[in-house]
Amino acid sequence: MNNVLNSEMVTGGLGSEGKVMSAKMQKLMKELKHELEQKSIRKNVKVLTLIKRYRPTASERDQQIIRNHILKIADLTIAQVKVNDFVELHRHKPVSTAKKILKCFERVMQTHDESFRLPQVKYPNKGKRFTASQILEIDDILKVIDERVYAPYKLPCLVALYTGMRLGNVMALTKKNVDKKRREVRFKQNKGGNEMVLPISESLAKVFSRVPWPLDDETPLFPLTSTKQAVSLAVSRAFTRAGFPWFSFHKLRHTSACFLLEHGVELSTISALLGHSSINVTMEFYARVRPKKLQEAVRCFDGKV
């Protein structure tokens, strides 16, 4: 009797038509069960697996972030990862650092689910801002480089000072990037990927004259075994020992631009030399550093309206 009732419940008491419906239902149930099992399996994938998928295409910066921050949760499964907790843990760092960490984390998670997006993040810590009071005279910088910076890092510091180049681009320079006949340095920016052509000044030419030429085209001008982080840390420590704890390798780039601004070089020219995506980027920064110079620059519009 029970078997008959169960059979009628499955078929709906509709004879052969009910049996067809039952078969469709069984197929749907089977597919649903399979999908649920697959989701369960996917959620059991460990973060370490995602890291291994992402690493072959990851940038040097992301590799560093993975080692320092994301590997700490590598043993967790995707189901165990608490995204909001991860965001909360890192959003209090300086904004640029926090953004890099969270963006890298997002890219790692997207190797599992391309639609993965982090929740909107508010960054409370604005970090230390470079101001006019932190600008050093060129002679002071040269003295610190000469007396306190580790010898293999001296020439890279001078290149950054005379060009405004970022550390990564300086370390990547090779013989083929330096055209002595045209007196130009040609390279592609690590940040943004812009093709850059910088003229070689007399001061920069003297720096390049200290490089042990000739070299192979692919040989780095400064064959450092250190990482960018190690160079940056060593230079920061050198300036700290000299009494300038706020100064760093990247501040050489800012100093270079401020020096040009002080000597009447147009903002559009400085923006082009730095490889900024827009002159607005240059304006935003140097409005804090040299507001009086910017005021002088816009006075050329006075009397034109």
pLDDT in tens, 146-202: 999 999 999 999 999 999 999 999 999 999 999 989 999 999 887 767 789 999 999
Q: How far apart are CA 196 and CA 229, in angstroms?
A: 24
Inter-axis angle of helices 138-147 and 151-163, nearest 10: 160
Q: How far apart are CA 182 and CA 186, in angstroms?
A: 11
Please, where are the H alpha helices in 1-94? 2-11, 15-43, 47-54, 60-68, 83-90
Least confident of 14-18, 22-26, 265-269, 297-301: 14-18
pLDDT for residue 22? 77
Average per-residue pLDDT in the chain?
Answer: 82
Contacts of 304 (CB under 8 A, 6+ apart): none
pLDDT band for position 18 (cuts 50, 70, 90): low
Give me Rg for the CA atoms of the chain: 29
Residue 281: which residues within 8 A CB-CB, separation 6 or more?
Answer: 271
Task: Give the sign of the dihedral formed by CA 267, CA 268, CA 270, CA 275.
Answer: positive
Tokens of 267: 């903002």
| pLDDT single digits (tens) 77-103 | 988 989 999 999 998 887 878 899 999
The domain defined by 132-301 carries CATH number 1.10.510.10: no
Q: Judge if pTM exceeds 0.85.
A: no
What ranges do the domains of the chain cover? 2-36, 47-110, 132-301
Task: Give the least confident one: 51-60, 105-114, 269-278.
Answer: 269-278
Residue type, 76: L
Q: Any bridge partners for residue 258, and if so which?
A: none
